[in-house]
Amino acid sequence: MEQSSTKAPLEPRKCGVTRRMFLGTALGGGAAILTGGSSAIFGAASSNAASNAGADSMFKLGGDLPVNRLGFGAMRLTGAGIWGWPPDRDEARKVLRRAVELGVNLIDTADAYGPETNELLIAEALHPYRKGLVIATKGGNTRPGPGQWVPNGRPEYLKQCVDGSLKRLRLERLDLWQLHRVDPKVPMEDSLGAIKEMRDAGKIRHVGLSEVGPEEIERARKIVPIATVQNRYNISDRKWDNALKYCEKEGLGFMPWSPVGGGRSLKDNAVEAVAKEQNVSVYQVAIAWLLHRSPVMLPIPGTSSVAHLEDNVAAGKLRLSEAQLKTLDGT
């Protein structure tokens, strides 16, 4: 099993960087959004303003766990309806390995993806894990069948989720475990109380939430320290702007799922116009917009194709002008 460090989890710190400060530095510096990866894709940060922008491209989960801000979402490495093994298991393993080669060190999964097959696939492809690679998983969503999702926040079930993920991922501690959905039938205090027990037992380093607003985050933080929030968010769906602003203020990581809106949000004329100006794909524009949007934004675009993965990762190097950002902000 993979040995995780025994350093005690820290309380999340405030990032101390406003959106305006971040944009000013990033737009002026021109450094790649991702650092520490392949120089062919990301480039290397230079001195002065560029190095400052490069520092902002790394985010510390929970204040102590550094990750590159552009991650990878593994959900699509499953069968139809997010059910069963992917049609081409070998290609799926290649996608995961290529992501790590390109400098991605944050991979998001869940026990519900498959269910269970997604976590098993990650271990097949990447174990023993490269130093610094963070596998973020989730629990608390059951799968009666393809395309079906039913929350289960019972404490005993969530403890089983944690132990099952540890076994499938071949880990001794989960760097980031996220409550996949708040179960309306179970008090949050009961659900997260169980997760606090698992964290106190050393099985979880940091805890995250999904599809929650500021009030729920505040309530959860009274039970256990929260490091991240994973909500649906993309250029055409900004329902959770209030949660993003809260995360920015409190220094929590914000992981937007469906970061390109399944491609539907990319048919906007503004997105297509910027993509044409930059001579890049609309996917790159959508991901780059997210990275410019906030210094706590941690996009996790997913794909089952190596070529599409490489295109997505290249978004980390894309610099959007102030005029282009204004155009996209208005979509």
Element housing 54 (H / E): helix 49-56
Query: Residues 6 or more apart from 15 whose CB is under 8 A from it?
Result: 59, 248, 251, 295, 296
Per the DSSP assignment, residues forming a β-bridge with 237 are 234
Distances 299 to 2, 41, 86, 158 between C-alpha atoms, Å: 26, 17, 23, 26
Q: Looking at this protein, which amino acid is placed at residue 27?
A: L
Give 253's DSSP letter.
Answer: E
Q: Which of 113, 233, 246, 283 is catalytic?
A: 113
Q: Are 267 and 293 in contact (CB under 8 A)?
A: no
112-141 burial code (b ≥16 CB/10 A, e <16): bbbbbbbbbbbbebbeebeeebbbbbbbbb
**Is 113 assigned a catalytic role?**
yes
Instruction: Please choose, from the candidates 88, 72, 68, the residue with its C-alpha nearest in 3D space to the C-alpha of residue 80.
Output: 88
Q: Which amino acid is at 156?
A: E
Q: Which value, in Å, is the radius of gyration of the alpha carbons in the chain?
A: 19
Determine how many CB atoms are found less than 10 A away from the CB of residue 64: 17
Q: What is the DSSP letter of 129?
A: P
Asked whether the beta carbons of 240 and 213 are under 8 A apart, the reply is yes
- In angstroms, rounded to a whole number, what is the distance separating the alpha carbons of residues 159 and 142? 14
Residue reference for tokens 């320290």: 225
Which of the residues are catalytic?
113
